[in-house]
């Protein structure tokens, strides 16, 4: 509710609190509403609004528009996170105050994004875990939404970045079991954002297991991610998945033809999605691979 609309209308009409509330409520009730956000009963509020030429719905209209804009902003920030534009994500999230957010799902999205990007840029663990704790212990305490899995994922990323591999393995195993249990037919009515979040789970879990040299498991997850991209016609993660597959192939000593094919596919999807970060990483990997091949001749 935007009480400012109410106050602005009263002042524009030059109606005092005493005059406005006469026959409806006490001045104290009106003052508490305007100054302390103490909302009176719907009957009283409706009568006050009518006297100002407003409806109760008018007080919610701007809040609703703000909420829609906030969801839109967070969705765009989430896409920037997928494109590895971490500094932009941090700057944009810093402009949003969590106490501005009323919807639980939007608040969970904000906590996940802030916790995850802070994990990826190696911020302090207590700062990261606080965001995930808000999801796990409060907003989704029954662990029924995908944000619980994203909080597990972010926790795993944080521990892996701090070389605490036992703790990281604990969280990534939880995420892996969730991915294994995923079946597309159970999520036919989900919005695209759901599939992008599933791809986030898949990619980072595949990356973690690649770092553990569990290439078979990592490649299985990559294949799952590529198939999901194809099924749902979402391409944001294809450059990262293909690049990870290329890295795995190089580390496994796959045939040059296989590695070249994967490099070509990565470059193609990178340019389609305008992912400059992956393009730079691919160029570096290609130079490293060419040097390695030259040394082995």
- Per-residue pLDDT for 65 more than 60? no
For tokens 């009176």, name the residue: 40
- For residue 103, the model assigns a pLDDT of 81
**Would you place residue 80 in the very low, low, confident or very high pLDDT band (cuts 50, 70, 90)?**
very high
Tokens standing for residue 175: 């995420």
- For residue 190, the model assigns a pLDDT of 66
171-190 pLDDT, tens digit per residue, is: 999 999 999 998 877 766 66
**Would you place residue 36 in the very low, low, confident or very high pLDDT band (cuts 50, 70, 90)?**
confident
For the chain, the average pLDDT equals 91
- For residue 58, the model assigns a pLDDT of 79
- For residue 117, the model assigns a pLDDT of 97
Q: What is the CA radius of gyration of the chain?
A: 25
Write the DSSP string, the chain. --HHHHHHHHHHTT--HHHHHTTTS-HHHHHHHHHH-----HHHHHHHHHHTT--HHHHHHHHHHHHHHHHHHHHHHHHHHHTT-HHHHHHHHHT--GGG---HHHHHHHHHHHHHHHHHTT--HHHHHHHHHHIIIIITTT--SHHHHHHHHHHHHHHHHTT-HHHHHHHHHHHHHHHHH--GGGGTT--HHHHHHHHHHHHHHHHHHHHTT-HHHHHHHHHHHHHHHHHHT--TTHHHHHHHHHHHHHHHT--HHHHHHHHHHHHHHHHHHT-HHHHHHHHHHHHHHHHHHHHH-
Tokens standing for residue 293: 């091949």
pTM assigned to the model? 0.78
- Per-residue pLDDT for 1 more than 80? no
Residues 129 and 134: their CA atoms lie apart, in Å, by 9
Helix axis angle for 192-211 and 238-252, nearest 10°, is: 20
Q: Terminal CA-to-CA distance of the chain, rounded, Å?
A: 71
Residues 286 and 259: their CA atoms lie apart, in Å, by 10
- Per-residue pLDDT for 66 more than 80? no
Side-chain-side CA neighbours of 17 within 13 Å: the count stands at: 12
For tokens 């990007």, name the residue: 117
- For residue 51, the model assigns a pLDDT of 93
| Highest mean pLDDT out of 3-7, 27-31, 62-66 | 27-31
**Would you place residue 265 in the very low, low, confident or very high pLDDT band (cuts 50, 70, 90)?**
very high
Neighbours of 33 (CB within 10 A): 22
C-alpha distances in Å from residue 111, one per residue of 96, 131, 163, 284, 287: 11, 5, 23, 33, 38
109-121 pLDDT, tens digit per residue, is: 999 999 999 999 9
- For residue 139, the model assigns a pLDDT of 92
- For residue 63, the model assigns a pLDDT of 61
- For residue 64, the model assigns a pLDDT of 58
| Low-confidence winner among 54-58, 125-129, 253-257 (lowest mean pLDDT) | 54-58
CATH number, domain 3-54, options 3.30.1330.10, 3.30.70.1060, 1.10.260.40, 3.40.50.300 = 1.10.260.40
- Per-residue pLDDT for 69 more than 90? no
**Would you place residue 59 in the very low, low, confident or very high pLDDT band (cuts 50, 70, 90)?**
confident
- For residue 38, the model assigns a pLDDT of 85
Give the mean pLDDT of 42-64.
83
Which residues contact residue 90 at a Cβ distance below 8 angstroms, ignoring those fewer than 6 apart? 117, 118, 121
Indicate the domain borders of the chain.
3-54, 182-297
For tokens 């795995």, name the residue: 248
For tokens 């500094």, name the residue: 87
> CA angle 42-47-51, nearest 5°?
145
């Amino acid at each position: 509710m935007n009480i400012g609309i109410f106050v602005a209308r009263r002042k524009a009409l030059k109606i005092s609190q005493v005059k406005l509330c006469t026959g409806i409520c006490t001045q104290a009730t009106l003052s508490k509403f305007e100054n302390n956000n103490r909302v009176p009963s719907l009957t009283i509020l409706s009568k006050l609004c009518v006297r100002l030429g407003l409806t109760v719905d008018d007080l919610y209209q701007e809040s609703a528009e703000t909420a829609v804009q906030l969801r839109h902003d967070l969705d765009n920030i989430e896409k920037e996170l997928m494109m590895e534009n971490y500094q932009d994500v941090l700057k944009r999230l810093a402009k949003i105050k969590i106490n501005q957010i009323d919807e639980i799902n939007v608040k969970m999205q904000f906590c996940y994004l802030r916790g995850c990007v802070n994990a990826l840029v190696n911020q302090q663990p207590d700062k990261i875990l606080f965001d995930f704790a808000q999801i796990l212990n409060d907003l989704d305490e029954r662990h029924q939404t995908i944000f619980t899995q994203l909080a597990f994922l972010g926790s795993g990323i944080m521990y892996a970045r701090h070389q605490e591999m036992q703790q990281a393995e604990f969280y990534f195993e939880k995420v892996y079991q969730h991915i294994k249990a995923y079946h597309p037919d159970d999520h036919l009515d989900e919005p695209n954002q759901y599939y992008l979040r599933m791809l986030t789970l898949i990619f980072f879990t595949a990356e973690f297991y690649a770092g553990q040299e569990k290439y078979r498991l990592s490649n299985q997850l990559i294949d799952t991610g590529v198939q999901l991209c194809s099924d749902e016609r979402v391409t944001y993660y294809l450059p990262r998945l293909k690049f990870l597959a290329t890295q795995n192939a190089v580390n496994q000593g796959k045939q040059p033809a296989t590695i070249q094919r994967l490099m070509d596919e990565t470059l193609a999807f990178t340019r389609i999605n305008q992912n400059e970060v992956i393009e730079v990483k691919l160029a570096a990997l290609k130079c490293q691979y060419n040097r390695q091949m030259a040394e082995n001749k």
